[in-house]
Amino acid sequence: MGSNPTLSATLRLERRLLAMSVIGWLVDEAERPGLLARFSPVYDKTIAHHVTLQSGLPDDAPPPPNVRCEIVGEADDGKGVQAMVVEIDGTTDRPDGSTYHITWSLADGRQARESNDVIAAHGWTPVARTPVRLIPGRFQST
């Protein structure tokens, strides 16, 4: 049986995309319990893991620099996606035009990447500014 060049190219592309990583900042695990107590997760699956700077990068992409971060708002579509909007070094605007955030909690069947759409469609409500210690990192997309 001969090889199918289209199928082979598709598989190579899928492997490359799966190997892509995200750079951003991880929520410091030592702060996570206090943050979760202050901002209660609405949905069953608690996330509160990271802030994305850029995705689709090679696995050897360097992590971003240290930053100052504060939770400044909350977004919730009422259907299973809750996100905390954050300021990174004084701005909520990500370089790609979306909003810096931490996906906070999800209902079954919802995915963290939906937070961007929820914030864009529903906006966000300001909350009392709360500092968050972040650790620069690289991780696989969820």
Give tens-digit pLDDT for 117-127: 999 999 999 99
Residue 141 scores a pLDDT above 70: no
Give the residue with greater pLDDT, 12 vs 114: 114
Give the residue with greater pLDDT, 67 vs 7: 67
**Residue 57 contacts by C-beta under 8 Å, 6 or more apart in sequence?**
20, 21, 22, 23, 138
Q: By three-state DSSP, how is residue 120 classified?
A: helix
How would you class 54 by CB atoms within 10 Å of its CB: exposed for 0-12, middle for 13-18, buried for 19 or more? middle
Give tens-digit pLDDT for 84-99.
999 999 999 999 999 9
Kindly report the number of other CB atoms within 10 A of residue 113's CB atom. 13
**Residue 48 contacts by C-beta under 8 Å, 6 or more apart in sequence?**
27, 32, 35, 36, 41, 84, 102, 103, 104, 105
How many angstroms separate the CA atoms of 130 and 71, rounded?
5
Phi, psi of 6 (to 5 degrees): -65, -45
Q: What mean pLDDT is reported for the chain?
A: 89
How many angstroms separate the CA atoms of 61 and 22, rounded?
9
